[in-house]
Amino acid sequence: MQEILIFRHAPHEGPGYLADYLDHRGLPHRLICIDRNDPVPASIDGVPGIVLMGGPMSVNDPLPWIPKVTDLIRQAVAADVPVLGHCLGGQLISKALGGAINRNPVKEIGWLPVARVESAIAQDWLDGLPREFEVFHWHGETFSIPPGATRILASRDCANQAFVIGKTLALQCHIEMTGEMVHEWARVGGDELAPACATVQNPQTLTANLDARVARLQGLADKFYDRWVQGLR
């Protein structure tokens, strides 16, 4: 198999646990660092899958790489090549497929629950997971569900937490976290954590019981990633 392409948009928002997952299964991957001005491939020829990580920018920002990435996403979906998006990455998928990205009613930052939106497609992708489970969040914007896609996850304060279209999975939440990443994000994004409220956790809450929370999250991530890699060429 050729390399899965993983797009990083900020130095502290790399693939995290996903890289460990792929390495343990012998699935080759290559990091494309948008934050270092790595070129965006013009074609998906020979690419088995595409992964898009998070980032502090908005998909609505006039950044020169965004049209190139959304074009690559459209190529991939049309060719039945699986795409996986985390937070900003999920928003890029939505934008590429005709969705809109707007401000969420509230910021969601920290360990907060999401719940399955019942459908046959949700059951297929979430098989073996509880109806509600805790994941990590760090976002102020949210995507709409693009034409032809199916919403599979929601939270109390963000109706669209995940959607599926074909072999492609777009997530608003973060399932790729490691303990080191949580600490780093709390440091880099500390200004966003005050004042704390019901949907924005302070650094102490973000890092409380961190080992256990990350272990549970990575168990959930295994389920999502197991389903996603089934679609790889």
Supply the CATH number for residue 105's domain.
3.40.50.880
Q: Is the pTM of this model over 0.75?
A: yes
| Counted domains in the chain | 1
Digit-by-digit pLDDT tens for the chain (233 residues) are 799 999 999 999 999 999 999 999 999 999 999 999 999 999 999 999 999 999 999 999 999 999 999 999 999 999 999 999 999 999 999 999 999 999 999 999 999 999 999 999 999 999 999 999 999 999 999 999 999 999 999 999 999 999 999 999 999 999 999 999 999 999 999 999 989 899 999 999 999 999 999 999 999 999 999 999 999 97
DSSP at 198: S
Helix (H) or strand (E) holding 17: helix 17-24
The residue range of the domain holding 91 is: 4-229
Angstrom distances, CA of residue 224 to CA of 11, 152, 198: 24, 12, 27
